[in-house]
Amino acid sequence: MHRILWIIGVLVVLLLALWGLMSLGTHSGLSHANIVRTLPGDEVIADPWIRIDRGATLAAPAEVVWPWVKQLGKDRAGWYAPMWLENLLRLHSAASIVPAYQDLSVGQVVPDWGGGVLKVLTLDEGHAVVYGSLRPENASSSDYAFTWALVVDPIDASHSLFQLRLSLKKPAQGMARFIPPSLPGLIDYATDVVMFAGLKEKVKTR
């Protein structure tokens, strides 16, 4: 009897751990209201295969956070990380606001780390920017593999919410179609946590 109860207990713990990982693969750092709310760019891929929401509360007003968010990107300000990690990897993101990277406009195409390009689909100055992902040869197309929304909302005079939403279209072919949606989300979680930590440092020491 004790052995059966022990086995049941282990199974329950494993199921809870699995449920936790699956949840972490799709959202973190946000209230339910922020996860289900409509954000700019949601209309581009109306029925995404995977939708991932990440958020972080930053100890800085939205007008301070926004320029840091706006300049994120490959061949731009880079991908923020805590200073100790940037020093360890010898890969440093911008240490200040770079005026040249504040020049962003709808329709502009910027590089993506995955080898493709990102097109600016929406720009609500001070609040949100939405990118759509394309292969370089399809830069004039509207068939986006994914959209990436970066949204900054004020919480109060000295705090703001930074929310990321990644919406992916299901691949038409290939083995990627059979990957559980939560698995790519766990990789996304690891990279976003690093970026949030780096951004918190930068806005704190501005």
DSSP string, 121-170: EEEETTTEEEEEEE-GGGTT----SEEEEEEEEEEETTEEEEEEEEEEPP
The pLDDT value recorded for residue 110 is: 93
Query: Using 50, 70 and 90 to split pLDDT, how confident is the model at 3?
Result: low
Say if residue 11's pLDDT is above 70: no
Where residue 32 falls among pLDDT bands split at 50, 70, 90? very high
Task: pLDDT band for 46, please (50, 70, 90 cuts).
Answer: confident
Residue 117 near residue 134, CB atoms below 8 Å: yes
Q: Place 22 in a pLDDT band, splitting at 50, 70 and 90.
A: low
Q: State phi, psi for 47 to the nearest 5 degrees.
A: -130, 75
Q: What count of other Cβ atoms lies within 10 Å of the Cβ of residue 50?
A: 21
| pLDDT at residue 177 greater than cutoff 70 | no
The architecture of the domain spanning 2-204 is 2-Layer Sandwich (3.30)
Segment 62-86 shows an average pLDDT of: 95
pLDDT at 20 over 50: no
Q: What is the mean pLDDT of the chain?
A: 85
Q: What percent of the chain has pLDDT over 90?
A: 62
Q: Which one-letter amino acid corresponds to residue 193?
A: V
pLDDT for 194: 93
Span 27-51, mean pLDDT?
A: 92
Query: Comparing 36-50, 104-118, 163-177, which segment has the lowest mean pLDDT?
Result: 163-177
| Per-domain residue ranges of the chain | 2-204
How many beta carbons lie within 10 A of that of residue 27, not counting itself?
A: 20
More confident residue, 31 or 170: 31
